[in-house]
Structure 1
Amino acid sequence: MDQETFNKNYTMQSLHKAIKVLKAFTREEPRLSLTELNKKTGISISSLQRFVSTLVYEGFLHKDERTKQYQLGLSLMYLGRLVEEESSIVTAAESILKALNEEIGESVSLNIVDGDERRCIYNLASKYPLAAKAYVGDTSPLYAGASAKVLLAFLPKEQFEQYMASVVFNPITENTLLSKEALEDSLEIIKQQGFAISYSERVKGAHSVAAPILTPAGHAIASVTIVIPDVRYKDFEEQHLISLVTNAARTIEEQLY
């Protein structure tokens, strides 16, 4: 499929126009009126009014009611910081995770909190045909699996309390925790130990060991996780796996801070 066909069949003109509005703002012109946006984008005033109203509502634009001018909103700053943080974490972690993956030959991943979920942002596959598959972009509930629970255990207090107040449990495997009491008990142990281990909580037949990458304030910004199928897990000494994953997390922290 050539680029022209892709553009024609797979893009939305309204979204293109909304992006065009956002790109109209520059360092030289950080504030623009509706008339100025019209001149810069060529979008009609009536359409612009709908676009900017939606962008203001979603936090991507801010309107100064006094001057009637618009400027980029805080939602863009938040997303920009996420990109910056993820990029710096991956850069710091990449060589360390590659060394870990080569040493044990099993799946190694880097994960972050994304809303109420765990999201994989970097993954190195197992060298074995039989492996627990993971892909960049994969998500899972924060209450299931070592990579997720170790993030949840070290969330800032307010964020943790908000999550626990609204969490809804769904059984993923027969080993998934399904109550706040069981989850809180598990998280307390994780906080005391500084790592998490799970046995088939999210993927049946897969065991995982994870450690948090912490800020100087002790909050998790990511987790390092080793995932091993049950049939090979017994080939490793569990304490050795714990040492490997916690040492990797500490080394990444040293690179970041």
Structure 2
Amino acid sequence: MEERKLTVRAVERALDILLCFTKQRDLSLTEIAGEISLHKSTVHRLLTTLEEKGFVIRDSATEKYRLGLKIWELSVHLSEGDEPAILLQPRMEQLRDRLGETVSLYLLDGTDRLRIQAVQSNQAIRRVAPVGARLPLFVGASSKVLVAYAPDEVLQSVLNSPEWPSSVDRAEYIAQLERIREIGYATSYEEREPGAAAVSVPILNRRGELAAALSVSGPVSRMSQQTLEEIAPVVMEAAKDMGMMMIL
């Protein structure tokens, strides 16, 4: 039994190492050890195994690690029917081409939102949305859409989070969620990020259940509050099409 616990713990630690690369592309041994709070000798042994199996690559010039080709080999076998990031990308590209701004797809993950896909604007000045970014649910158009259409326990978890920012009024936040459910979309104007604006809508599957949040974002110089409200019906139309594509 003790041997089994040690084996499982080793797997957990190896997975923790791989998860470090959701935040940064290249990491040193010291950076990884600090991130997961393990001794460098332990991390080095795990990295050696991961490197042998092709899950990480070590750059001999910089002594830094990055994800290996084995990760990409595994991703090839994701089912399009089960993976919205793959399934919905063509429709997201159509929406980007129509509106000219960056289009993102978010999933609810605990008390965070996770950007699982992004189609960048082709304009010279644009908002870059990195895939894999994890953001809180307290502010932002897509955050509020995800909470507004999620089960009530998600809202309670967010409201009771110890990380709730003092600058956000809970009563006003709840009122915003009610308004979002009424009109079917949310907007944000320099709410989370200076100089950025966004409109977000829910993607509901054929059962009417929340599948994801679809967001269009860009610089405030092109996306005024009036512009956000004008393009909202276009984004809602795209989300409706995407919802019909989702496998139940």
What TM-score results when the alignment is normalised by the length of structure 2? 0.65
The percentage of aligned residue pairs carrying the same residue is 27
Partner in structure 2 of residue 256 of structure 1: 246
Mapping of 1:95-244 within 5 angstroms?
A: 95-166=90-161, 168-170=163-165, 178-234=168-224, 237-244=227-234
State the superposition RMSD in angstroms: 2.8
Partner in structure 2 of residue 76 of structure 1: none
Larger radius of gyration: 1
Runs of 4+ in 1 over 3 A off after TM superposition: 46-49, 52-56, 83-87, 215-219, 234-240
The amino acid that maps onto 2:235 is: V
Aligned pair in 2 of structure 1 residues 254, 54: CA closer, same or farther (>3 Å)?
same
Q: CA deviation at 1:159?
A: 2.6
Secondary structure of the 1:168 match is: coil
**C-alpha distance in 1, partners of 2:95/2:137?**
24
What TM-score results when the alignment is normalised by the length of structure 1? 0.63
User: Contact (CA 8 Å) 2:105, 2:116: kept in 1 or not?
Assistant: yes
Aligned pair in 2 of structure 1 residues 191, 138: CA closer, same or farther (>3 Å)?
same
**C-alpha distance in 2, partners of 1:217/1:178?**
33
User: Contact (CA 8 Å) 2:114, 2:133: kept in 1 or not?
Assistant: yes
Secondary structure of the 1:242 match is: helix
Alignment of 1:51 with 2:2, yes or no, is no
User: Contact (CA 8 Å) 1:86, 1:121: kept in 2 or not?
Assistant: no
Aligned pair in 2 of structure 1 residues 140, 85: CA closer, same or farther (>3 Å)?
farther
**C-alpha distance in 1, partners of 2:106/2:117?**
7
The amino acid that maps onto 1:203 is: E
Q: CA deviation at 1:140?
A: 1.3
User: Contact (CA 8 Å) 1:169, 1:179: kept in 2 or not?
Assistant: no
**C-alpha distance in 1, partners of 2:156/2:208?**
16
Partner in structure 2 of residue 247 of structure 1: 237
**C-alpha distance in 2, partners of 1:234/1:49?**
56
**C-alpha distance in 2, partners of 1:90/1:139?**
15
Structure 1: gaps (5+ residues): 1-33, 35-45, 57-82, 172-176
Aligned pair in 2 of structure 1 residues 165, 85: CA closer, same or farther (>3 Å)?
farther
What are the superposed Cα offsets for residues 35-57 of structure 1, whole Å, 9 maximum, x if unpaired?
xxxxxxxxxxx64442247879x
Secondary structure of the 2:113 match is: strand
